[in-house]
């Protein structure tokens, strides 16, 4: 591994930790929805500045939705609970994850990632706040995905992936798919979120991955030191999971040589709770503000598994193309 790549991995390990931006920043082109709330203007996805794109002339795309990188801030003294995709200081945070994930996961795939009015970290302190605020973010990622399909995809197979709030978006987009779009979905990676009975009842297209190469499936996992470290908002109600190291749905332990620490880790899927249990990590736990718990490795999930995820995306893409050519 080159020094440059190692630095990227370390950077993404810090950046993907549900960072919290608190302070007073400009919320340009915004509107006040209520006396206590301000909503930034919706992104225009015909505007290239509302995308991070790496076009590699590949036959398969990766469509990635970023995690929560922002916290509450104020606009003229009024709280704002959504990212302003036109504000430079907020865009820098969103851009950091987009670029990091592209470098870590895309390999030779084309990469598309939209800016969106993600809900801030404080939203995830209660189910009622999520229900009240998520429609703003949801409207954006649905509009972005529709624009991607109409203007960028050109009929190619695609992989969907998202982390945390972005994984919630992936579940929502699969639930909204028709059969023609789903037929081109190589696989979906729901990293650090859950797929519930309610989700499964909404669509036949949320199908659990069973191994390393099945297609049209959803890969889902949540990582902890032990079950007491789980964050309920993130993992409660999950109905399926797979170990992204040995690509098994049974409790057989897998050995992972960490790329972000000097550790050799043991990764085991607890089939009772559907949590990935990681033993042997010697790094200092990063506890997510407001909702985090010691021993919860949510913020490390892309960094820890990046080499395995990158290889797996390439494998599934290759198999999809091979089957389609027959």
Bridge-based pairing of strands 51-54 and 37-39 is unpaired
Residue 73: inside a domain: no
DSSP 24: B
CA–CA distance, 318 with 312 (Å, rounded to integer): 10
Residue that the structure tokens 């007073």 belong to: 24
Q: What is the dihedral of CA 58, 113, 209, 254, to 10 degrees?
A: 90
Q: What is the model's pLDDT at position 286? A: 87
> Which tens digit of pLDDT belongs to each residue from 163-175?
999 999 999 999 9
Neighbour-count burial for 297-307, b at 16+ CB within 10 Å, e otherwise = bbbbbbbbbbb
Q: What is the model's pLDDT at position 11? A: 37
> Which tens digit of pLDDT belongs to each residue from 242-280?
999 999 999 999 999 998 889 999 999 999 999 999 999
Q: Is a pLDDT exceeding 60 seen at residue 29?
A: no
Residue 55: inside a domain: yes
Q: Could you tell me which of 85, 100, 103, 94 has the C-alpha nearest to residue 67?
A: 94
> Domain total for the chain?
1
Q: What is the model's pLDDT at position 10? A: 31
Q: Is a pLDDT exceeding 90 seen at residue 5?
A: no
* Residues 116 and 140 sit within 8 Å (Cβ to Cβ): yes
Residue 19: inside a domain: no
Residue 7: inside a domain: no
Task: Determine what percent of the chain is predicted with pLDDT higher than 70.
Answer: 89
Contacts of 204-213 spanning 24+ positions with Cβ under 8 A: 205/174, 205/175, 205/177, 206/171, 206/174, 206/175, 208/239, 208/240, 208/242, 208/249, 209/242, 209/247, 209/249, 210/242, 210/249, 211/247, 211/248, 212/247, 212/312, 212/315, 212/316, 213/315, 213/316, 213/319
Residue 9: inside a domain: no
DSSP letter for each residue of 304-319: HHHHHHHHHHHHHHHH
Q: What is the model's pLDDT at position 112? A: 98
Give the global pTM. Answer: 0.91
- What is the pLDDT confidence band of residue 36, given thresholds at 50, 70 and 90? low
Q: Is a pLDDT exceeding 60 seen at residue 298?
A: yes
Provide the residue range defining the domain that includes 293: 41-68+94-324
Residue 1: inside a domain: no
CA–CA distance, 265 with 276 (Å, rounded to integer): 12
Q: What is the dihedral of CA 125, 128, 132, 134, to 10 degrees?
A: 50
The CATH number of whichever domain residue 46 belongs to comes to 3.40.50
Residue 10: inside a domain: no
3-state secondary structure of 236: coil
> Which tens digit of pLDDT belongs to each residue from 73-116?
988 888 999 999 999 999 999 999 999 999 999 999 999 999 99
Report, in angstroms and rounded to the nearest whole number, the Rg of the chain calculated over CA atoms: 19
Q: Find the helix or strand (DSSP H, E) in which 201 lies.
A: helix 197-202
Rounded to a whole number of angstroms, the distance between the first and last alpha carbons of the chain is 37
Residue 317: inside a domain: yes
Q: Half-sphere exposure of 56 toward its Cβ, with a 13 Å CA cutoff?
A: 15
Q: What is the model's pLDDT at position 100? A: 98
Phi and psi (nearest 5°) for 205? -95, 0
* Residues 59 and 110 sit within 8 Å (Cβ to Cβ): no
Could you give the strand order of the β-sheet that contains 264-270, starting from the edge strand earlier in sequence?
A: 223-224, 275-279, 264-270, 254-257
CA–CA distance, 176 with 170 (Å, rounded to integer): 10
Mean predicted lDDT score pLDDT of the chain: 90
């Amino acid at each position: 591994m080159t020094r440059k790549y190692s630095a990227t991995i370390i950077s993404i390990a810090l950046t993907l930790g549900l960072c919290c931006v608190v302070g007073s920043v400009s919320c340009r082109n915004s509107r006040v929805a209520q006396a206590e709330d301000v909503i930034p203007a919706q992104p225009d996805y015909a505007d290239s500045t509302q995308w991070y794109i790496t076009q590699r002339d590949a036959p398969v795309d990766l469509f990635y939705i970023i995690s929560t990188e922002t916290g509450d801030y104020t606009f003229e003294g009024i709280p704002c609970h959504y990212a302003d995709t036109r504000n430079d200081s907020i865009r820098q945070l969103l851009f950091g994850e987009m670029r990091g994930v592209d470098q870590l996961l895309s390999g030779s795939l084309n990469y598309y990632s939209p800016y969106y009015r993600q809900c801030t970290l404080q939203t995830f302190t209660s189910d009622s706040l999520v229900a009240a605020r998520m429609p703003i973010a949801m409207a954006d990622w649905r509009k972005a995905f529709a624009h991607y399909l109409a203007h960028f995809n050109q009929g190619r197979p695609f992989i969907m992936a998202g982390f945390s709030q972005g994984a919630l978006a992936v579940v929502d987009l699969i639930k909204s798919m028709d059969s023609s779009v789903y037929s081109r979905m190589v696989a979906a990676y729901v990293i650090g979120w859950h797929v519930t009975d309610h989700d499964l009842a909404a669509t036949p297209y949320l199908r659990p991955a069973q191994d390393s190469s099945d297609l049209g499936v959803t890969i889902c996992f949540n990582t902890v030191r032990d079950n007491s470290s789980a964050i309920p908002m993130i993992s409660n109600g999950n109905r399926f999971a797979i170990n992204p190291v040995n690509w098994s749905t049974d409790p057989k332990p897998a050995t992972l040589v960490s790329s972000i620490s000097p550790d050799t880790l043991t990764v085991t899927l607890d089939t009772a709770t559907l949590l990935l249990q990681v033993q042997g990590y010697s790094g200092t736990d990063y506890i997510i503000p407001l909702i985090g718990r010691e021993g919860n490795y949510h913020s490390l999930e892309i960094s820890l598994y990046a080499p395995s995820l990158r290889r797996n995306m390439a494998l599934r893409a290759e198999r999809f193309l091979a089957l389609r050519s027959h």
